[in-house]
């Protein structure tokens, strides 16, 4: 039984991350709607702003956490042999961690810190 996201912790983290994801998504799409078409430097300037860089980074952290908890439930529901389940969960962990490292590099290099 995973200590990282067992039972109540997972339930709460999933809800908490969901709320932040919702706020960011609303902000992001409202910005797109209000701003209209972006030209390159406007788009890059937006993300270069330190507050936006951090908020976006937190968005991805929340997303990867939220995805881990959700997909882990799907794996547990449909994959029963222990060895295969462990394989899938390991691959899931690897993928999500890889995405986390990748997006961190993307955001840091894009930022104006």
Would you give the DSSP letter of residue 38?
Answer: P
Quickly tell me which residue has 């104006």 as its tokens. 112
What Å distances lie between residue 99 and 8, 51, 67, 106, CA to CA? 26, 21, 12, 10
Structure-token pair, residue 54: 């951090």
**Closer to another protein at the Cβ: 10 or 63?**
63
Nearest to 101 by CA among 69, 47, 57, 56: 57
Per-residue interface string for the shown chain with another protein, residues 56-85, x marking contact by CB under 8 A: ----x--xx--x--xx--x-----------
25 binds another protein (CB under 8 A): yes
47 binds another protein (CB under 8 A): yes
Residue ranges that bind another protein, judged by CB under 8 A: 15, 18-19, 22, 25, 29, 32-33, 40, 43-44, 47, 60, 63-64, 67, 70-71, 74, 95, 99, 102-103, 106, 109-110
């Amino acid at each position: 039984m995973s200590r990282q996201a067992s039972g109540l912790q997972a339930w709460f983290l999933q809800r908490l991350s969901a709320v932040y994801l919702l706020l960011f998504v609303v902000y992001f799409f409202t910005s797109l709607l209000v701003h209209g078409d972006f030209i390159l430097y406007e788009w890059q300037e937006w993300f270069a702003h330190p507050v936006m860089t951090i908020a976006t980074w937190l968005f991805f952290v929340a997303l990867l956490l939220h995805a881990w908890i959700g997909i882990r439930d799907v794996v547990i529901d449909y994959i029963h042999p222990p060895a295969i389940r462990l394989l899938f969960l390991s691959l899931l962990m690897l993928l999500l961690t890889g995405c986390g490292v990748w997006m961190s590099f993307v955001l840091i290099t894009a930022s104006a810190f």
